[in-house]
A and B are shown apart, each in its own frame.
Chain A
């Protein structure tokens, strides 16, 4: 938790090419694995991803979700060994945890929640958080090389 908090108050040290994520801390182990903590912002939430990058492999080591305004730890997602990193894998884990937290909160207060709507809404905002930059870059590239004829805004 301390690491997570110090990470969000520190300055980024770069962008990791394997994940497209802004990196705040990095440690190169004797075994040659480069461990990093990166962050993505989702409104008032910060998603911290801990990854280990070796030769020809990137592992997901853990995910923490923190509320930016209060610095409360919302979720600490433990990840099994040898889970290979993709943004989609992280998105699905984060979606499941946030979905469960919100549903639990609603039930505790005896309130009804439209599960389908919640799932769609979470999918949509997380998709934007993880893939919008890539989609924009792909469209610009496709336009530059003449694959599409309309330039996006």
Chain B
């Protein structure tokens, strides 16, 4: 239901992977032998969608998108070229992307905010959420925002 809300399950069905602690979509294997799939993680009030490509020797991060659950809106996105997949990198990118959009929005609204504080709080929030069993995150976020 949560994924349907963002149209995330239109191309694929998602199932939980304990190893990745994420919801993994069905893969597509190209003629070149690379497999492409999406992984979804949740944090408080947001959904993070990863575009992943798996080749013979490396797994690549091709893109990241962050959605607001309550607003049902794409908050920020980024595309990567030849970026080897790394969990820590994903976390730091999500934190940076969210910090940037909040700082940008605050500047445009002429609201004074501390980028250091925002980054620090987002870091704590994303760390905690991504370490939490994502099945529990899905349950809690669905109850909070979709009921």
> A interface vs B, CB < 8 Å?
14-20, 32, 34, 53-58, 84-87, 89, 131, 133-142, 144-148, 150, 152-153
In the complex, B137 has a CB within 8 A of chain A = no
The chain A residue sitting closest to B80, CB to CB, is: A84
B30 to chain A, nearest CB (A): 10
In the complex, B75 has a CB within 8 A of chain A = yes
Say yes or no: A138 contacts B11, CB within 8 Å. Answer: no
Please judge, given known A-B contacts A19-B74, A56-B38, A134-B73, whether A145 and B44 are in contact too, CB under 8 Å.
yes
Say yes or no: B98 contacts A54, CB within 8 Å. Answer: no
Interchain Cβ contacts under 8 Å between A and B, 26 examples: A14-B7, A17-B7, A17-B67, A18-B65, A18-B74, A34-B10, A55-B26, A57-B62, A89-B79, A134-B101, A135-B101, A135-B104, A135-B108, A137-B71, A139-B106, A141-B45, A141-B68, A142-B102, A144-B45, A144-B70, A145-B44, A145-B45, A147-B122, A148-B106, A152-B105, A153-B109
B145 to chain A, nearest CB (A): 10
- Chain A contacts for B98, CB-based, 8 A: 138
The chain A residue sitting closest to B12, CB to CB, is: A55
Contacting residue for B8 out of A17, A136, A139, A147, CB 8 A: A17
Say yes or no: A134 contacts B102, CB within 8 Å. Answer: no
Say yes or no: A56 contacts B53, CB within 8 Å. Answer: yes
- Chain B contacts for A133, CB-based, 8 A: 73
Say yes or no: B7 contacts A140, CB within 8 Å. Answer: no
In the complex, B83 has a CB within 8 A of chain A = no
- Chain B contacts for A87, CB-based, 8 A: 77
Say yes or no: A17 contacts B11, CB within 8 Å. Answer: no
Measured in the bound complex, the distance between the Cα atoms of B44 and A146 in whole Å is 11
In the complex, B52 has a CB within 8 A of chain A = yes
Say yes or no: A134 contacts B38, CB within 8 Å. Answer: no
A77 to chain B, nearest CB (A): 18
Say yes or no: B37 contacts A138, CB within 8 Å. Answer: no
In the complex, B89 has a CB within 8 A of chain A = no
Measured in the bound complex, the distance between the Cα atoms of B53 and A84 in whole Å is 14
